[in-house]
Amino acid sequence: MTAAVTAPGLGEVVFVGTGFSLVTQTTPEALGAMRRADKLFHVVAEPAAAVWIKSLNPTAESLALLYREGKPRGETYREMVGRILEHVHRGEKVCVALYGHPTIGCDPTQMVLALGRDEGFAVRILPAISSDACLYADLGIDPMVDGIQAYEASVFVQRRPRIDTRTPIVLWQIGFIGESSIQFSGRANKPGVTALARRLTAYYGKDHKVAIYQASWYPFLPSTVIWTDIRSLPETATAAVATLFVPARRRPATSRTAGSPRPRRAGAQARPPGVRRPY
């Protein structure tokens, strides 16, 4: 994706994603962009990933160092954009590597994209593996069967969109509900999760099973999947970065003959067991 033809004297920016699992989910296209950049910035969640990125390009610099405990995230994002633009205005080719997908839950990408349109420098975005893509694989979900509703969890709680209980829901960052700043403890905001559980209860009841999901950072470790009921969500959802998967609510079997089995579509998902996969 290109925002504009680069104006004379200006550089360009390419945003790439590194996925979640260390090294293994980064595409050859993203690797090439990181290696060729005049300046490489990154925001990754694991120190090992930062070391690996530095080995690709000696100009690599972490923008994550701009975060501070309690500092508003909006302020940090503006500082990140400022660092990127310093090099763009020098006429350099800048690459910004971000864990996951570079347009999902990443304000700096959208901010630079808008500035590129205004100022005339080119912005490219290369696709990458996102947390929901990992979730589909680990839970064996085909979003084309019943569709998918997806929201950032704070948006879901605060804006209260109308939802369809026949369609599964993906909710990102359930532990950050109501948080405007970074909390390095990594713990979920329990009042926010409680508000989320209250909203879900209104649609599904307290006994509906949901999955708390975290993609693995390492190829030799499985992802974390915890099945629980909505009633227990505030106590079970302890990680700030977790994603929540809410399966569709089963419809009552009023249209079938009593005692007859429900016909099953090829590839349909069974009801999830209430077990926890090892991390």
pLDDT of 262 reads 44
What range defines the domain where residue 54 resides?
A: 12-125
| 114 shares its domain with 160 | no
- Give Cα separations from 72 to 24, 63, 66, 180 (angstroms): 32, 15, 11, 6
Per the annotation, the verdict on 265 as an active-site residue is no
Instruction: Look up the pTM and report it.
Output: 0.83
Establish if 260 belongs to a structural domain: no
Q: Count the Cβ atoms, other than its own, within 10 Å of residue 17.
A: 26
CATH number at residue 227: 3.30.950.10
Average pLDDT, the chain: 88
Q: Among the three residues 79, 102, 125, which one is the final residue of a domain in this structure? A: 125
The CB-based long-range contact list for 201-206 (8 Å cut-off, 24+ gap) reads 201/230, 201/231, 203/163, 203/165, 203/249, 204/165, 204/230, 204/246, 204/249, 205/230, 206/230, 206/231
Catalytic residue among 35, 67, 77, 117: 77
What kind and span of H or E run contains 212? strand 209-214
CATH number at residue 87: 3.40.1010.10
Establish if 240 belongs to a structural domain: yes
> How many Å apart are CA 163 and CA 262, to the nearest integer?
25
Establish if 165 belongs to a structural domain: yes
| 164 shares its domain with 111 | no
Residues 6 or more apart whose CB falls under 8 angstroms from that of 158 comprise none
Per the annotation, the verdict on 73 as an active-site residue is yes
pLDDT at residue 187 tops 90: no
Both tokens assigned to 265:
């579509």
Catalytic residue among 73, 199, 231, 249: 73
Q: Among the three residues 107, 125, 143, which one is the final residue of a domain in this structure? A: 125
Domain count, the chain: 2
pLDDT classification of 2: cutoffs 50, 70, 90: very low
| 213 shares its domain with 159 | yes
Catalytic residue among 67, 90, 99, 204: 99
| 104 shares its domain with 175 | no
Closest CA to 206 of 173, 172, 171, 230: 230
For residues 76-87, give the mean pLDDT: 97
Per the annotation, the verdict on 99 as an active-site residue is yes
Tell me if 4 sits within 8 A of 116, measured CB to CB. Answer: yes
Q: Among the three residues 97, 125, 153, which one is the final residue of a domain in this structure? A: 125
